[in-house]
């Protein structure tokens, strides 16, 4: 395999064709940096099937064995050892400076050599795929046979163990059966003893029940005598005074509770009156708004009538001027009414008297104006 040195542009095109996901530019080849060569070499090693991840991340054993060495140095050492062995296999020397302090010409030479080997490997890959496939198939078949053999041996061993366990279990069950029989005999004896004791307890229970009934009867007699004696005892004046004081205190508490209940009911009544007043005010406001809307509709109809009359009497110039002036006045009044409607809707205040006066003025003015037009 001839190592032909390529130009930067040719090498850039070749790398982009072989590894399209690898980000590279012409400046990286003309002035290679440490980060670029490290990234390129690890990418190429990964393309050739090397386990780069285990090299990039230092192994815990390495960290434990070399605790004084920084992880970056361990990572660099791992990659360098792998690259040195790889370049030795393809007939080139690789130094630590090629990785840490790359020279443009030397880096171009090494990358060209790697690219040529990459091209050679791609050419040979097609011819050995069948051989690799056969090797992999035979290896898989061998592993399958070995697994089958191991499974059979494991089943035989397990069967022997199960047989021995069954024999041991049989002996244990036999001994446990004998123990259970002995225990059963002892339990039967204890059962007879317990039955005898239960009979004795039942006879004692009946005796105790009779005694209990007699004692209960005596207790009832004593309670009746005590109640009769209580009725015969007259309370002392001090006790009567104390009872009277307690009754007065309870009466005062009851009066306070009644007064508090009345106050609460009075408050609820006042609240209901306020709510009723608010409802009436809201109803009056709604009626006012409805009246204003109706007035606005009537004024619109009046304006339409005025316009039609103006079109019919267009020959009289003075009347046209008067009608125009009156129409402007009506428009101004309509604008004022619209503003007042908006003000009523926004603020919610009651200006009932003012709106009624305006409505009366407009109602008086419109018939007069209509009579004037008809004349």
Query: 236: which DSSP letter?
Result: P
Phi/psi for 316 (5° steps) reads -90, 105
* Contact between residue 320 and residue 310 where contact means Cβ atoms under 8 Å apart: yes
Tens of pLDDT along the chain (375 residues) come to: 445 567 888 888 888 888 888 888 888 888 888 888 888 888 888 777 776 666 666 666 666 677 777 767 777 777 788 888 888 887 788 888 888 888 888 888 888 888 888 888 777 776 776 777 777 788 888 888 888 888 898 889 898 998 888 888 888 888 888 887 888 888 888 888 887 777 777 777 788 788 778 878 877 877 787 777 666 655 556 776 787 787 778 777 767 776 776 676 676 667 666 666 766 766 676 677 677 667 767 777 767 776 776 666 565 556 656 767 777 877 787 777 677 666 656 665 565 566 556 556 656 655 665 565 555
CA pair distance 329, 327, nearest whole angstrom: 5
CA pair distance 77, 71, nearest whole angstrom: 10
* Contact between residue 328 and residue 345 where contact means Cβ atoms under 8 Å apart: no
- Residue 232 CB-density burial (10 A; 0-12 exposed, 13-18 middle, 19+ buried): exposed
pLDDT at 282: 67
For residue 87, CA distances in Å to 40, 111, 141, 322 come to: 14, 11, 35, 111
For residue 257, CA distances in Å to 250, 251, 252, 270 come to: 11, 10, 9, 20
CA pair distance 280, 270, nearest whole angstrom: 15
pLDDT at 161: 92
pTM: 0.34
Phi/psi for 150 (5° steps) reads -65, -40
Q: Which residues, in sequence order, are CB contacts of 243 under 8 Å at separation 6+?
A: 235
Q: Which residues, in sequence order, are CB contacts of 352 under 8 Å at separation 6+?
A: 284, 288
For residue 128, CA distances in Å to 142, 198, 277 come to: 21, 95, 101
pLDDT at 134: 79
Collapse the DSSP code of 67 into the 3-class scheme (helix H, G, I; strand E, B; otherwise coil) and give the result. coil
* Contact between residue 126 and residue 57 where contact means Cβ atoms under 8 Å apart: no
Collapse the DSSP code of 1 into the 3-class scheme (helix H, G, I; strand E, B; otherwise coil) and give the result. coil
pLDDT at 107: 85
CA pair distance 326, 334, nearest whole angstrom: 12
CA pair distance 40, 79, nearest whole angstrom: 12
Q: 271-302 burial string, b = 16+ CB within 10 Å, else e?
A: eeeeeeeeeeeeeebeebeeebeebeeebeeb
Distance of alpha carbon 81 from its chain centroid, rounded? 50
CA pair distance 23, 72, nearest whole angstrom: 23
């Amino acid at each position: 395999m001839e190592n032909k040195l390529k130009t930067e542009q040719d090498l850039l095109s070749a790398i982009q064709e072989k590894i399209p996901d690898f980000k590279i530019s012409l400046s990286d080849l003309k002035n290679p940096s440490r980060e670029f060569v490290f990234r390129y070499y690890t990418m190429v090693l990964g393309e050739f099937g090397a386990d780069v991840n285990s090299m990039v991340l230092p192994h815990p054993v390495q960290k434990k064995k070399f605790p004084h060495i920084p992880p970056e140095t361990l990572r660099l050492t791992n990659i360098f050892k792998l690259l040195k062995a790889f370049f030795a296999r393809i007939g080139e020397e690789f130094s630590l400076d090629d990785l840490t302090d790359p020279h443009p010409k030397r880096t171009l030479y090494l990358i060209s050599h790697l690219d040529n080997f990459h091209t050679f490997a791609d050419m040979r890959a097609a011819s050995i795929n069948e051989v690799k496939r056969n090797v992999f198939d035979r290896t898989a078949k061998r592993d399958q046979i070995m697994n089958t053999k191991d499974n059979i041996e494991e089943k035989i061993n397990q069967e022997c163990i199960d047989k021995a366990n069954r024999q041991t279990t049989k002996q244990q069950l036999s001994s446990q059966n004998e123990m259970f029989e002995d225990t059963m005999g002892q339990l039967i004896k204890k059962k007879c003893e317990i039955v005898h004791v239960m009979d004795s307890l039942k006879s004692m229970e009946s005796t105790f029940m009779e005694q209990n009934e007699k004692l209960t009867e005596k207790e009832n007699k004593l309670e009746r005598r005590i109640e009769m004696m209580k009725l015969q005892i007259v309370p002392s004046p001090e006790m009567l005074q104390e009872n009277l004081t307690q009754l007065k205190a309870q009466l005062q508490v009851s009066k306070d509770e009644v007064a508090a209940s009345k106050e609460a009911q009075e408050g609820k009544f006042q609240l209901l009156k306020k709510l009723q007043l608010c409802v009436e005010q809201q109803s009056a406001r709604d009626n006012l708004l409805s009246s204003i809307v109706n007035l606005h509709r009537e004024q619109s109809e009046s304006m339409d009538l005025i316009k039609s009359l103006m079109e019919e009497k267009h020959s009289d110039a003075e009347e046209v001027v008067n009608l125009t002036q009156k129409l402007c006045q009506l428009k101004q009044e309509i604008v004022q009414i619209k503003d007042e409607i908006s003000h009523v809707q926004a603020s919610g205040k009651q200006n009932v008297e003012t709106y009624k006066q305006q409505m009366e003025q407009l109602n008086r003015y419109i018939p007069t104006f209509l009579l004037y037009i008809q004349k």
